[in-house]
Every structure is written in structure tokens, then in C-alpha cells.
Structure 1
């Protein structure tokens, strides 16, 4: 029977953890301080340690290296209420097997203990040297999941596929995977598939030889060559054309590529991190994305939540952006509690990027040292001109849609069921509001279909198909 050593200065935590592990069949010894834990460890007691970070006599991160020196194969699980990105990273750097943010699920604790005890001897996590800090901000459970995945990926080269809405910080997560990983001394190279003409993507990725196509007056290195020994971040991978997908698949399978116009196979040593805001499985179903490439990329899936799902992180993010603004030479300011409440209540359709831009405007445009709720409301209204985004349509547009829905629903409910079956209500409302919605958004984007598709949350091809079905004019050369 394995013996678990539990250290936490909170008696309630000690009790519930001890009870859960005892019920799971383990022998448990508990202490409220680091000194006793260290004495037990020196004596060779225990098969696994579960410890809080902050204890009255010593920080567990200071104790961990000493434990790993004398008992490198002893798994240590760290608990902490300081639920930040750097807590998770530091736990890994100091040699912890895993990190559990408080409050945690007891079933998860027991499962983690089982995995740790089952690992082969000699595979305990090795500590890594301290590195410059690159903060990811947020203490919400959703962000804790991201921190833990990043911490677990620090010593691997596994391919990661990041999914999340525009503006959620997917590239920041990709940079964290690089900066705290084994390739941190190599380059981090990013390429956005949606920002490059489709006919040039292969050249941008793999490079080209002189004379490979009209205008190729000299050899050019591609992103794979630039990222050699480091990380290549493929942003908006869902926008990659099928021809380039085929070539990328070969690179992932064979570990080599050839330049456009070249015949020589070039070996590559690059870690791939990809990201998208689209549903790649839907693109697979529609024939726009290769299923075999999806499985090559989706080795470690990582979802970055929209800001509306992590409202508790908004105050921390807002203060963080205040500090960044001050670092960039703007005056140091503070939010009132009312202002933070207004920020928390906002839906943030533009996600973290929208919040960052809002904070920058509040600091730059208003002389007050205290940012009030009234100022926040004023800026939120000013940034939503008529028709700018779906959530910011003109009041008239919103009233028209609501009226149409209400009228159709009332007619369906009032009518005799034999004359007007209710099962057609959805399609009736959709037909009534879809075309006006598309017209409003296209007008707001001046016909730019790329922007319109992003605002609507649609794939560009899906938007074009809808425009064709509705016989709406498509502006040539836009989108």
C-alpha cells in the first residue's frame, strides 16, 4: 500500500485530502509545515508528496529542489491558491509531477496520484533553469487548464492545435509553448494563412528557387527554413488551400520538404503549433480540409476560451493592460470598482484584444487618474458605431429583427395547427432575417467579405455560398 505525505497549513484542506486518499486505499500522513515534510523525506518515508506552495515556514518551491536532489524519483504534486500561469510553469521547472490549482476536484487529485505512482522509476520530471517571464493573465478554471497543458508540454516537441475565437490570444499561447519549451533558444516564426494570397502560401512556407515563377528573381527562404531549430506557428490553418495542405502533410510525415521550383529534399527540425478560429471538422465534412492533416496537427488539442467565458479574469486583464500602457509611456491610472463591474458585465465580442484596445483608449484619451464606470460606458458606446458588428447594429436594425421574429412567432402560435404547422417556424424566421443581417454587415464592412465573414462567425466560402443562394450582388475583387 503506497504512503502519501500531505503538507498544507489549512486544517480543512488536510482533512478532505486525507479522507479522499484514504478512501482510495492509500496510507496518508499529514503535516502543517515544510520542516516536518522535509524530515520525512530525508528519512525515506512516503511514496508520493502532495504539498501546498505557501506554508508558514517555507515555500514549497524552495523545498522542491532539495527533495529532488536526494529523492529524484519521488513524485511531488503541488497545490496552490495562487492560480497564475507562472505558478504552473514554476511547478514544472522545480520538478513537480503536476500542479493542481485550488479549489480542485478530489476525483482529479486521486486520479493524478494514481498516474504519478504508476509512472516508471526514473521518469520523474527534471527541473529546468529559470527563464524570463512571459505572463498569461487569468485565474479562471479555463485558464488553469491552459497553464497546466503548457507546463506539461515544456519538455516535448508534440504538435499542438489551438482553437479559439479571434482575439482570444492564440498566438500568445503559442509563444508561451515556445518560450517555456525545449526549443526556447531557437526562433519563433509565425505565419497567418488568412493574410497571404492563396497562390503565394506554398512559397511563403517552403521558399522558392530563382525562376520558379514569374517575379522570382532570386532564391527566397521560406518560413520552415527560418524556423529551423525552433517553432513554426501556423495561424488560421483552416484558411490553408488544399494544395499547401498536401505539402504540409508530407513535411509532418517525412520530416522534409522541397522549395517551390526545387528538386532537393530538405530535412527540417521544426516544432509545429497551429491555430484556428474555425471548426476544422466542419471544413473536413465540406471537403475544404484534409482529415489526415487534421489528425497530424491535433496531437495535443488546446482550446482558448472566449473572454465572455472567463469573466472573473477581466479585472486582472484590465489592470495588466494598464501596466502595459504605463510601460509604453502613458500615465499610470487605476480603475474604480464600478468601472471593473462594467467591464465584467460586458460581453466582449472582440475578446481580449477588444479589452486591450479599450484600456489603451481610456488611458490615452481621458486625463482623469481614476477610470470610472461612466468613462467605461462612454467608450464602449463610442466604439460601436452603427452597423459595425452584430452586437453593435443600429437600434433600428435590432428592432426590425426582433419585430420580425415576434410577428412570425405570434402568427404561428395563433394560427390553427392544421393550417400553419409550427415546425416551419425556424426556417421562416431564418428566411426573414438572414438577408437583412448580411446586408447590414456587408454595408458596415464596405463590401469586404473577409471582414464580414469574421464578424458573422462564418467561413468565407460559406458566406459566398449564402450570398449566391440569396442572389445578393458580390462586389468583385473584395474578399
Structure 2
């Protein structure tokens, strides 16, 4: 049951509010002045404060209310505060709204308006508490993982990436091949690094090969080595990547590009640990943990005869799927802050980053932030520095665009229910935000001027 604190020196007003709010199922605590109100904040968990602006009969300046507001805000920065004011003190109330008050209500108030305001602020506080609890739980989960395992500096907050990392650390000690799938730039290589860092061969070499970057006629020589004269330009014998990775882990990126001949040799190595260098009949033996990765649909490649089915099942003993960045938006801002290295974003830039689709995934985000840091001339990075605003404006001009429900809810959550602050972040007037919330069913209000 939410607890509402009413601070007003007028017994009749306090009683009327207590009755009205109690009938709605709220727990109500009354205080006849600032000192009693502050004591209630210390001794009770308060979800919302309704406070008067003057507490002495001769007082009309609102200075007591201003002092109380700042005292409450210092004591409990997150609790929403609604100001009760006479029309003669609206200017003061507006200034306090700018300073963080959630809303103001003029005396005499409209019961329906007051109940709607209270209900929405309590709903937003509940959502905010739930989000904070979820964030705290994710942080604790990440901390527990980081305490037990080497996460190789991976930055993440999303449940999707946490699940992948948890699985990676769980299967890391097992001596079985792992296939990491996901789009380009999504973080497959760092998942492979986490597997190596927590494996039984973590003290051994970690050799990375981008199979997609190798010329097809040199691919086998690169992987398995070659003797002198095995092909044009091979003037001396060379060790392949499997030999270099002996006793450790070999990461084969873009495995779908391996030739059928190379696939046959790879299958043999996985089954027996044996292979021959190109141009040699000498059989060599290695013990290598293979982690492969691809952004391709290997099942479709099998159906088209471009990839061996038996190799697929040998590589795919364990499959880890890395979701694209667009499907884990909780990672966007943490990654951005990591890439910024001390620089700051303004609120509009954060919204632009969250609204972008990131077809290039984490790699695109990294390049975007690097470019923004180079181009930015102000104290904070703006949407113009990011170079993403052109995409948004082309689809929907900013001056015509209305924020959707999710954007408003996120802005209100970040503003902790403070209407004026959320409106500023969204680029709306306070009245326009109220109207938009009413239209979306977030708040049932009439126009306020």
C-alpha cells in the first residue's frame, strides 16, 4: 500500500485530503508543519508528498514551502513532491517545478485532478522502483559473474547478453567445440575470448583466424601450414594456425567461408587431432580447443551443398547465439559510456542512440562514438555530433514528431515523475506533454494553461 505524506498547517485541509486519499486505498500520514513532516520522512517509507507553501498564518511569501521542498529533496531525492498553492503563489510553484517538483495543484483543488495526479505519480514511482530493482538485480548478477570468471572487459546490462555470458562461462571448462552465431559486429569474438579465458587451456595460446579474410587458395596453408614449394611463392616451410594453437584455443571466425576441401581437413582435425601440412605426407598431431563463429545460416549452406553437415554437427556441439544490438537496447548506453572515455552525452543524444536501429551492431556504435568525440566542439556530445539525426529527420521531421508511449514512459522514469523535467527532455511544453499523455491514456487530464 503506497504511503502519502501530507504537510499542511490547516487541519481542515489535511483532514479533507486524508479522507479523499484513504478512500482510494492509500495510507496517509498527516503533518502540521515542516518539522513534523521531516520527522515523518525519517520514520516512514514515503511514496509521495503533498506539501503546502506557507505554514504560519501571517506568512504569504512561500519561503517556508521553498525551504521545505529543498529539505525534502535533500533527504529523499527520488520521492515525488506535489505543491499545494494558492493562485497568488503560482510563480513560486512553477519555479519549484523547474527545480524538480513533480507537479503543483492550486487551492481549492479539483478532486478528480488531484486523484489523477496522485495515481499517475505513484504508478510512475512504482515503475521506477521496479526498474531500479531490475537494474540492481542485473548489476548483482554481473558482479557475481565477474567475481567468479574473467569476462575480458565485456560491457553489458541486457538480460540477453548476460544469458550468453553465463552459458559461455559454464561450458568454458568442457573440452568441446563451440559455435558462436550472430550478426557481424555483435560481439562474437569477445564471447570466444571469454570461453578461452575461463577454459582448462587458458594458459595456452589463443589464436584467431578470420577465415572470411583469407584467399581461398591460401586458406588451407594458413590453417594447416605448408612445406616449401607446396605452391607458388612458398619458399620455406611454414607453420599453420592449428600448430600455433596447440595446447590452447583456435578461434575460427566466419567459418562458413571455408572451402569444402578445408572443411574435410577441419573435420579430420576435430575428430582425430591429426592433419598434414600442404605438400607434406607427414602426419602431425595437435590438441586444440576450437571455437568457431559465423553470421551465415549454415543450415541453408548445408542444403545448398556449400557446407558439410557432419562438420556442422561437429562444430555445433554447443551453440551460443549473440543477439544483434537492436534486440538488446539495455546495452546501448552502457557501451556508449564505455566508448566515450569520460566525455558526456546530452539527453537528446541518448534518445538518438536508443532510437537508432544499429544495423552494424556494436562495431557501428563504436565507430559512431569515436567520430562524435572527434567532431564535437562543445562540452557535451549532441545528436548532430553523432550523425544519426539525419535518419530520424528523414523519416519524421523533429518539429512534427510526437513522442510515442515508450519514449514518454522512459522520459518520465528518468525524470522520476517530474513532469517539467520530462517535458524538457522530450522537447515539449508542459501542457503539450499533459495532452500527449492524455491522448495515450497515460493521464486523464484536461488542458492546463
Report TM bin, short chain: 0.5 to 0.7
User: Which of 299, 308, 317 is 1:281 aligned to?
Assistant: 299
Tell me what 1:268 maps to.
286
User: Which of 136, 139, 147 is 1:82 aligned to?
Assistant: 139
1:360 aligns with 2:360: no
Moved over 4 A (4+): 83-86
Shift of 1:313: 1.2
Higher gyration radius (CA): 2
Tell me what 2:348 maps to.
338
Instruction: Give the 3 Å change call, closer, same or farther, for CA 84–202 of structure 1 in structure 2.
Output: farther
CA RMSD of aligned residues (A): 2.3
Shift of 1:87: 2.9
Instruction: Tell me if structure 2 keeps the 8 A contact 1:165–1:306.
Output: yes
CA distance in 2, matches of 1:322, 1:181: 31
User: Which of 232, 240, 253 is 1:222 aligned to?
Assistant: 240
1:166 aligns with 2:184: yes
CA distance in 2, matches of 1:194, 1:348: 22
Instruction: Tell me if structure 1 keeps the 8 A contact 2:165–2:191.
Output: no
| Alignment TM-score, normalising by the size of structure 1 | 0.52
User: Which of 288, 298, 306 is 2:316 aligned to?
Assistant: 298
Instruction: Give the 3 Å change call, closer, same or farther, for CA 281–86 of structure 1 in structure 2.
Output: farther
Residues 239-258 of structure 1 show CA distances to partners (whole Å, capped at 9, x for unaligned) of 10101000000001111111
Shift of 1:83: 5.2
Residues 257-290 of structure 1 show CA distances to partners (whole Å, capped at 9, x for unaligned) of 1111111111111100000000000000000000
**Aligned-partner SS, 1:219:** coil
Shift of 1:374: 4.0
Instruction: Give the 3 Å change call, closer, same or farther, for CA 319–84 of structure 1 in structure 2.
Output: farther
Shift of 1:372: 2.3
**Aligned-partner SS, 2:279:** coil
Shift of 1:154: 3.1
CA distance in 2, matches of 1:86, 1:187: 27
Shift of 1:321: 0.8
Higher RCO (C-alpha under 8 Å, 6+ residues apart) = 2
Tell me what 1:140 maps to.
158
Shift of 1:369: 2.3
Give the 5 Å matches for 1:427-446.
none
Point out where structure 2 has 5 or more consecutive residues left out of the alignment: 1-135, 396-449
Shift of 1:214: 2.0
Instruction: Tell me if structure 1 keeps the 8 A contact 2:375–2:385.
Output: no
Point out where structure 1 has 5 or more consecutive residues left out of the alignment: 1-78, 94-130, 324-331, 385-390, 396-479
Aligned length: 260
User: Which of 360, 380, 386 is 2:388 aligned to?
Assistant: 380
Tell me what 1:425 maps to.
none
CA distance in 2, matches of 1:84, 1:225: 38
Tell me what 1:150 maps to.
168
Give the 5 Å matches for 1:70-469.
80-82=137-139, 85=142, 87-91=144-148, 134-323=152-341, 332-376=342-386, 379-380=387-388
